[in-house]
Amino acid sequence: MAHHRTFKEECSFIDRLDDNSFLIKKGFVPNMKVEGIFYINDSLEKLMFDELKNWAGTQGIGGFLPGVKQIANVAALPGIVGRSVGLPDVHSGYGFAIGNMAAFDMSLPEAVVSPGGVGFDINCGVRLLRTNLDEKDVQPVKEQLAQSLFDHIPVGVGSKGVIPMGAKDLEEALTMGMDWSLREGYAWAEDKEHCEEYGRMLQADVDKVSPRAKKRGLPQLGTLGAGNHYAEIQVVDEIYNMYAAKKMGIDHPGQVCVMIHSGSRGLGHQVATDALVSMERAMKRDTIDVNDRQLACARINSQEGQDYLKSMAGAANYAWVNRSSMTFLTRQAFGKVFKSAPDDLDMHVIYDVSHNIAKIEEHVSFVYQGAI
Amino acid sequence: MYRRKLKALGHHHPESFDVHNDQEFRNLVVWLEDQNIRLYKIEDRGEIRDVKSSEWLKTFRKYLDDLKCPVDLSQKVSVVDWLLAHAVRVEYAENAEKYNNVGQMDQSNQTEGLGESSLDDSLMNLTVDNPDLKAGVTSLSRLFSLPQHPDHFVLLQAVRSLIEGKLSSLASKTDKKSDKKADIIPLHKVDLGFDTGDSAVNEAAKIIRLLHVTELRELQTRINEAIVAVQAITANPKTDQSLGRVGV
């Protein structure tokens, strides 16, 4: 770039659409194929513009790339359609902004898939379990319950799970996703209904998952991991839509739920790392230009692109099996403390939502989402 | 057409009863009230027993009201059928145990030949364009207050799904099982997600969608039942606490 723009100059490319959204116009970064849009509230708005202001102040040298720039860089990826979207948890991430969503038209030969868009923790997501317990049932046994959960679900970097897995079990789990959990009895039949993709991506190919990734994943099934991952006992505070809540088995404030936030552990991280390495080569070969090295990508229809999608699907399946295993362990932990069957505690899955995943969706486009 | 019910109730000439003979019809009403229905006390049955009275039809109309008969007297054939069915219900309710035992004995003794003897010729030889069938379906659909449809086959399907959904023993069982009442959501609170520009069409679309969702739900429930059956064979979840290791 010839000269660095001032913060004010940068802002001339960003238009306020309404109280809660801004449009990023073409020209904000080079090669933008489409415009960007991001959704904010007051505090997020301040954060986004502070990021940009700091960055402009350092003339773009050092520090991390602000989220708005990342949204714009994604808008410059080959094959993108619609807009590059920053969802209301948007902030700076790896290549893509966190909460950055984009769709690519698979019919365009130049359309790309980028592991940065999916993220390193492939198919990281949250799952909510309900119980028929009330806050007052849990209060007196809080300590025991927390301890029981810790005993069943090991946490932290390098933790190992209590579910015995062999290499063959792992390969089957990667292929079958939650169907494996069902077959082995770690999940209830109804659980699947409440998961995206019914807890299984069919295009998974275990042969595309490297031995190193499998080795990392093998002992970790049924563990939470570190960082912002958690298994929390939560209490319903307020119900906004009684009909919907009742359908989900939530019927009163004070009802106890369990939320599990976790993903594909070391296995997913390794799959992403492997893909980034192979894609750097593919980018040179196919002369794909991107604005940020972190946006390493490959054409969807190239060998590298297809291999990534198949291994990503395997990692996604691993994440569903992982959350299902932790669901099983949570049900056991509750069952022991309350001396009753998880069935009688009505411990059904309410939902399981992924926030780090790429999917082929109708209209033959290709969608990423990344959040949290 | 009332032969079976009349026979079951012990009528003296079930084969030859003619509903269009007014005298026979009135006598039957009195006989049913005396023998089975017994809605009124004996001393209050004077008026209905007076079948020769010119006021009899008026009395009968009141009698049907008291019985909460859903069929209008203008459809005499259906009214008689309903009365007979009601009498059978009363008779059965009073002697349920007796009849249930007979049923069981019947099953063990007479499974052979059941096909031929209990299905009489009229049922065996029933064809789709049989006028009796058409008439029967039409009167059934009226009983259920279903809207009319020119194709009696469509009507029959509607009758069937209504019975299956609301009246069969299975339906009433599942109702009881989920002992809390189903939540009723007013239709106007259901979100259609799009607008056809015509409120009646919108409502119809909502109803169709809800029915569709219900069907999908039933299918999914059956799938789940199948999964559970397979799990009984395949599932063997294990945990081994010695494998666990807490990280840093």
Q: What six digits make up the tokens of A236? A: 């319903």
The pLDDT tens digits for A152-169 are 998 888 888 999 999 999
Residues A324 and A181 sit within 8 Å (Cβ to Cβ): yes
d(CA B228, CA A145): 29
Q: What is the DSSP letter of B241?
A: G
Nearest residue, CB atoms, A185 vs list B223, B235, B241: B235
Mean pLDDT of A282-291: 92
Distances (CA, A) of A238 to A5, A250, A252, B102: 47, 10, 8, 57
Between A93 and A73, the higher pLDDT residue: A73
d(CA A101, nearest CA chain B) in Å: 23
Residues A180 and A324 sit within 8 Å (Cβ to Cβ): no
Question: For A125, phi and psi rounded to 5 degrees?
Answer: -165, 175
CB contact under 8 A, A159 and B247: yes
pLDDT of residue A314: 97
pLDDT grade for A368, boundaries at 50, 70 and 90: low
Residues 6+ apart with CB under 8 A from A173: A165, A180, A181, A221, A317, A318, A321
Q: Is the ipTM of this complex over 0.85?
A: no
pLDDT of residue B180: 53
Residue A129: pLDDT over 70? yes
Of the candidates A326, A300, A321, the one whose C-alpha atom is nearest the C-alpha of residue A175 is: A321
How much is the mean pLDDT over chain A?
91
Between A238 and A372, the higher pLDDT residue: A238
Query: DSSP secondary structure string, A333-359?
Result: HHHHHHTS-TTTTT--EEEEEESEEEE
d(CA A100, CA A35): 13
d(CA A289, CA B110): 84
CA-nearest residue of chain A to B241?
A162
pLDDT of residue B120: 59
d(CA A75, CA A70): 9
CA-nearest residue of chain A to B238?
A163
Tell me which H or E stretch contains A261: strand A255-262
CB contact under 8 A, A223 and B241: no
Find chain A residues with C-beta within 8 A of B240's C-beta.
162-164
CB contact under 8 A, A185 and B230: no
Mean pLDDT of A22-30: 95
pLDDT of residue B105: 58
pLDDT of residue B5: 85
pLDDT of residue A307: 96
Q: If DSSP codes are grouped into helix, strand and coil, which group holds residue A160?
A: strand
pLDDT of residue A20: 94
Residues B79 and B73 sit within 8 Å (Cβ to Cβ): yes
- β pairing state of A36-39 and A80-91: parallel
Find chain B residues with C-beta within 8 A of A189's C-beta.
223-225, 227-228, 231
pLDDT of residue A235: 95
Distance of CA A300 to the CA centre of its chain: 20
Long-range Cβ contacts of A236-245 (<8 Å, 24+ apart):
A243/B183, A243/B185, A243/B189
- Name the one residue in this structure whose structure tokens are 């069915």: B85
d(CA B79, CA A233): 62
How much is the mean pLDDT over chain B?
81
Q: Three-class SS string for A115-158?
A: HHHHCCCCCCEEEEEEEEEEHHHHHHHHHHHHHHHHHHCCCCCC
Binding region of A for GMP: 228-232, 355-356
Binding region of A: 121, 228-232, 261, 355-356
Nearest residue, CB atoms, A162 vs list B236, B240, B247: B240
Q: If DSSP codes are grouped into helix, strand and coil, which group holds residue A206?
A: helix
Residues B19 and B2 sit within 8 Å (Cβ to Cβ): yes
pLDDT of residue A371: 46
User: Which residues make beta-bridge pairs with A232?
Assistant: A259
What residues in chain B have per-residue pLDDT under 70? 102-124, 169-183
pLDDT of residue B112: 46
pLDDT of residue B176: 54
Mean pLDDT of A121-131: 94
Residues A152 and A336 sit within 8 Å (Cβ to Cβ): no
pLDDT grade for A369, boundaries at 50, 70 and 90: low
- β pairing state of A125-134 and A21-24: unpaired
Mean pLDDT of A42-61: 86
pLDDT grade for A355, boundaries at 50, 70 and 90: confident
Residue A339: pLDDT over 90? yes
pLDDT of residue A212: 96
- Name the one residue in this structure whose structure tokens are 């999608």: A309
pLDDT of residue B111: 46
Of the candidates A15, A37, A35, A26, the one whose C-alpha atom is nearest the C-alpha of residue A85 is: A37
